[in-house]
Copies of this chain bind each other. A is one copy, B any other.
Amino acid sequence: MSILVVGSVAFDSLETPSGKRERVLGGAATHFALAASFFTDVRVVGVVGEDFLPEYELVLTSKGVDTTGIERAPGKSFHWTGSYVKDLNEADTLATDLNVFAEFSPKIPESYKDSEYLFLANIDPVLQAQVRAQMPNAKMVAGDTMNYWISAHRENLLKVLRELDVLVINDKEVRMLSGETNALVAARKVLELGPKSLVVKYGEHGSAAYFSKDSFSDGETRKLFRAPATPQEEVVDPTGAGDSFAGGFYGYIASQGKLTPEVFRTAMFYGCVLGSLSVEEFGTARLQRTTRAEIEERFQHLKEISHL
């Protein structure tokens, strides 16, 4: 079944301990779409400038991603400049040039309207809500956010959270959103804000899912699931790891068509796999050359290192 993702399609200029790259293809929707494309059809809503040349679009379309909903606007694409030289786990933002993204107003092509799975990547919650309202028949809605929206646009964000089946954020965002430091107490508070389920990304420590009584229609008794990450010999570029996780996770769920506890748990493992692949090269390079066989191999590896 098809996923519609709305979010940034951008260029990133990056410095990490492994080197520097100028203006590589990036953006949350890009990483998400590539990761999800291994599992299901993906449709992107976003905006780019005149610098988004056909070679960049081909990165998406060659994986079967539908780019009809990527609007072309006069000017330049969103451009983020960041460094991970001090700390691979935390980006140091050097410049954020919103460019055409500053005036982004998501428009959903008619051909996208039958998408059953909606993913609201990290953008202004006002825009997330607009997209949600235009997709009344979506059978499942998941989303991401970030520290800026949590602290400065909290009220708008809270409206979006009430509409989500799954919120996928990192542990710092959970603490910020809940005001709690204990992981279990924090997760419970976030679930009280509306999302039926919460997925927390812990970087090299994997991820956790916290469930509410509304997570599954057939009543799962487990309140929690914990997935490991594959330790990485070298993290070349962490940019987009979280979006790739979300893409692998949600792509698998959409491919199954039914959200059972087992599908959810398996999706967490696929999220870890896609996240671990994405950091091995700059930008989207690693996901571009990933094969489905590699994904299955890593999935088995994750199972081996975590199952008795």
- Whether A184 lies near B233 (C-beta < 8 A) is yes
Query: How far apart sit A89 and B227, CA to CA, in the bound complex (Å)?
Result: 22
- Whether B306 lies near A182 (C-beta < 8 A) is no
Query: How far apart sit A126 and B234, CA to CA, in the bound complex (Å)?
Result: 36
Chain B residues within 8 Å of A224, by CB: 231, 305
Closest to A188 in B: B233
User: Residue A204 at the B interface, CB < 8 A?
Assistant: yes
- Whether B225 lies near A184 (C-beta < 8 A) is no
Q: Name the segment of A54-62, A67-75, A104-112, A262-270 touching the other chain.
A: A262-270
Closest to A268 in B: B308
Q: Which residues from 266 to 308 on chain A have a C-beta closer than 8 Å to any C-beta of chain B?
A: 266, 269, 303-308
- Whether B228 lies near A305 (C-beta < 8 A) is no
Write the nearest CB–CB distance from A236 to chain B, whole angstroms: 12
- Whether A233 lies near B185 (C-beta < 8 A) is yes
Q: Determine how many copies of this chain the complex contains.
A: 2
Query: How far apart sit A235 and B181, CA to CA, in the bound complex (Å)?
Result: 11
Assuming the contacts A184-B233, A231-B183, A232-B184, asked whether A304 and B265 have C-beta atoms less than 8 A apart, the reply is no
Write the nearest CB–CB distance from A123 to chain B, whole angstroms: 30
Write the nearest CB–CB distance from A162 to chain B, whole angstroms: 25
- Whether A222 lies near B305 (C-beta < 8 A) is yes
User: Residue A213 at the B interface, CB < 8 A?
Assistant: no
Write the nearest CB–CB distance from A202 to chain B, whole angstroms: 7
Chain B residues within 8 Å of A222, by CB: 304-305
Chain B residues within 8 Å of A269, by CB: 308
Write the nearest CB–CB distance from A86 to chain B, whole angstroms: 12
Chain B residues within 8 Å of A304, by CB: 222
Chain B residues within 8 Å of A228, by CB: 226, 228, 306
Write the nearest CB–CB distance from A271 to chain B, whole angstroms: 13
Write the nearest CB–CB distance from A270 to chain B, whole angstroms: 11
Most central of A202, A222, A234, A308 by chain B CB within 10 Å: A308
Closest to A87 in B: B181
User: Residue A205 at the B interface, CB < 8 A?
Assistant: yes
- Whether A184 lies near B231 (C-beta < 8 A) is yes
Closest to A89 in B: B181
Chain B residues within 8 Å of A185, by CB: 233
- Whether A307 lies near B307 (C-beta < 8 A) is yes
- Whether A226 lies near B306 (C-beta < 8 A) is yes
Can you list 21 pairs linking A and B with CB atoms under 8 Å apart? A182-B233, A182-B235, A183-B204, A183-B231, A184-B231, A184-B233, A205-B206, A206-B226, A208-B231, A222-B305, A224-B231, A224-B305, A225-B305, A225-B306, A226-B228, A227-B306, A228-B228, A265-B308, A306-B306, A306-B307, A307-B307
